[in-house]
């Protein structure tokens, strides 16, 4: 079993990057991870010591303690315009779209679409920035109009008059003040909807090959589609010297997973180097040495698929709970086309669990491993959140 873990360790290790991203020192993507973790621990100990001193001192001592405490949640405020490679990873806000009604969908009349929209925010600090209504008539091009706040938790938008018998498909997109987006979409990979574009980090903060710039998602009855781009080119990095790049898509299904913690959900990993013959030649003998029992559990076809695609999907909670075999979701059958800096992929929705609400929440991340057997990759960059809502709204003009 240990040797099988060695085969997939780099991909599985990406999970640890999610947790490491919570440390303030992890914002500096080029630091040595061992130093970073030690520094994070030192900072934590220093905070505890400072807090104890503050409780036993008065006046200037208390003030000094407050000034010395490094609350990394206030990092943006303290540093002003300094770049932040991890954006709003802790701002896990998203909108839910409740009852949707259509009035006046008749020939010679505009159609008024009204939706109940709620912003889910544990901190109760975020606000809704915009609500838009997008529609397509008889499979034509998509047009978009603004929806107005009615002041009672509902928003309304107007679809212009259409001819009798026309089929109108539509969806709603909500953007909040954290630049997180909740959106529907027309079914099909060609109809993916984009979230808010990520900032272009400077090269000394995040190398272009790991600098995420956009994220889009869509769906149909069978698949979840996810597209993203980096500023440079999607690259596996190098074995010698060891700098192994990983790309991840984290997906949370709120119907089966509680909360939006970094250790909750499914993780779709793309490790380009897994497709390289040099890497396969190094690790395949290790897998064979592990024994037929484990090979049979994984399945040769699944091993081949990982090697051919460089991808797999993991159930984070099962993996962290020690259920290694159950944590590998080969049933997701991830696929993707890579073109320079563009990733365009799909996975089977059924592997993500029952999803009656229709909401799937997505964020993309990049990381790099400093060695082939490291469990602590260096976190590099992440996108804003994008929630895809499988709405499938439509009406026929009477």
Alpha helix positions (H), the chain: 2-20, 33-56, 60-68, 75-79, 277-290, 292-298, 300-309, 316-320
Highest mean pLDDT among 3-7, 22-26, 74-78, 229-233: 229-233
Spatial neighbors of 390 by CB under 8 A, at least 6 apart, are 184, 219, 355, 358, 360
Same domain, 218 and 270: yes
Same domain, 344 and 266: yes
Same domain, 168 and 244: no
Q: Which of 161, 188, 215 is the last residue of a domain?
A: 188
pLDDT value, residue 360: 96
Q: Is residue 219 part of a domain?
A: yes
Structural domain span for residue 138 = 94-188
Same domain, 216 and 336: yes
- What confidence tens digit (pLDDT) does each residue in 66-85 have? 333 333 233 343 344 456 78
pLDDT at 195 exceeding the cut of 60: yes
Count the neighbouring beta carbons within 10 Å of the beta carbon of residue 1: 12
Q: Is residue 176 part of a domain?
A: yes
Q: Is residue 148 part of a domain?
A: yes
CATH code of the domain covering residue 142: 2.60.40.1930
Same domain, 178 and 237: no
Q: Is residue 60 part of a domain?
A: no
- Local structure of residue 281 (DSSP, 8 states): H
Determine the number of helices (DSSP H) and then strands (DSSP E) in the chain: 8, 21
Same domain, 158 and 48: no
pLDDT value, residue 279: 75
Same domain, 240 and 363: yes
Same domain, 28 and 9: no
Same domain, 37 and 12: no
pLDDT value, residue 7: 39
Provide the pairing of β-strand 237-238 with 386-389.
Answer: unpaired
Q: Is residue 66 part of a domain?
A: no
Q: What dihedral do alpha carbons 115, 119, 125, 129 form, nearest 10°? A: -50
Residues 295, 3: Cα–Cα separation, whole Å: 11
Same domain, 170 and 212: no
Same domain, 43 and 114: no
Q: Is residue 112 part of a domain?
A: yes
- What confidence tens digit (pLDDT) does each residue in 351-380 have? 999 999 999 999 999 988 876 555 567 888
pLDDT value, residue 238: 84
More confident residue, 51 or 189: 189
Question: Is residue 148 left, alpha or beta, with left meaning phi > 0 and alpha meaning psi from -120 to 50?
Answer: beta
Q: What is the pTM of this model?
A: 0.80
Same domain, 235 and 294: yes
Q: How many domains does the chain have?
A: 3
Q: Is residue 116 part of a domain?
A: yes
- What confidence tens digit (pLDDT) does each residue in 3-19 have? 333 334 434 443 333 33
pLDDT at 347 exceeding the cut of 90: yes
Give the confidence band of 262 by pLDDT, cuts at 50, 70, 90. low
Spatial neighbors of 301 by CB under 8 A, at least 6 apart, are none
- What confidence tens digit (pLDDT) does each residue in 126-163 have? 999 999 999 999 999 999 999 999 999 999 999 999 99
Whether the bond into 241 is cis, omega within 30 of 0: yes
pLDDT value, residue 181: 97
Q: Is residue 397 part of a domain?
A: no
Residues 128, 144: Cα–Cα separation, whole Å: 18
- What confidence tens digit (pLDDT) does each residue in 287-297 have? 666 556 666 77
Residues 65, 70: Cα–Cα separation, whole Å: 10
Q: Which helix (H) or strand (E) holds 96?
A: strand 94-103
Q: In terms of C-beta density within 10 A (0-12 exposed, 13-18 middle, 19 or more buried), how is residue 387 classed? A: buried
């Amino acid at each position: 079993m240990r040797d099988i873990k060695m085969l997939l360790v780099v991909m599985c290790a990406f999970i640890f990057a999610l947790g490491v991203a919570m440390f303030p020192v992890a914002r500096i993507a080029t630091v040595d991870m061992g130093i970073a973790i030690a520094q994070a621990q030192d900072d934590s100990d220093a905070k505890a010591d400072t807090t104890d001193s503050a409780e036993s001192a008065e006046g200037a001592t208390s003030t000094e303690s407050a000034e010395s405490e490094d609350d990394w949640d206030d990092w943006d405020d303290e540093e002003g315009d300094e770049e932040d490679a991890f954006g709003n990873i802790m701002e896990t806000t998203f909108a839910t779209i409740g009852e949707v009604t259509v009035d006046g969908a008749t020939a010679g009349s505009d159609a008024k679409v009204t939706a109940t929209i709620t912003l889910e925010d544990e901190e109760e600090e975020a606000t809704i920035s915009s609500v838009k209504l997008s529609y397509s008539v008889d499979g034509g091009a998509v047009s978009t109009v603004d929806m107005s706040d009615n002041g009672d938790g509902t928003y309304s938008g107007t679809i212009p008059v259409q001819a009798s018998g026309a089929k109108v498909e539509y969806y709603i997109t909500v953007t909040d003040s954290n630049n997180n987006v909740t959106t529907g979409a027309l079914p099909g990979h060609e109809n993916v909807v984009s979230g808010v574009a990520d900032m272009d980090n400077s090269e000394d903060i995040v190398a272009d090959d790991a600098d995420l710039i956009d994220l889009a998602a869509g769906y149909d009855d069978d698949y979840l589609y996810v597209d993203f781009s980096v500023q440079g080119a999607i690259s596996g990095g190098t074995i010698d010297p060891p700098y192994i790049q990983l790309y991840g898509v984290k997906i949370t299904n709120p119907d089966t997973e509680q909360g939006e913690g970094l250790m909750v959900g499914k993780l779709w990993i793309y490790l380009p180097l897994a497709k390289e013959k040099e890497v396969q030649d190094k690790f395949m003998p290790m897998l064979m040495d592990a024994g037929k029992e484990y090979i049979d559990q994984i399945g040769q076809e699944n091993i081949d698929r990982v090697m051919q695609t460089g991808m797999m999907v993991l159930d984070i909670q099962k993996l962290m709970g020690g259920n290694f075999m159950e944590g590998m979701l080969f049933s997701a059958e991830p696929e993707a086309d890579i073109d320079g800096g563009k990733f365009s992929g799909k996975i089977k929705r059924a592997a993500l669990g029952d999803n009656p609400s229709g909401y799937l929440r997505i964020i993309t991340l990049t990381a790099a491993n400093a060695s082939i057997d490291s469990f602590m990759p260096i976190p590099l960059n992440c996108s804003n959140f994008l929630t895809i809502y499988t709405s499938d709204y439509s009406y026929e003009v009477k």
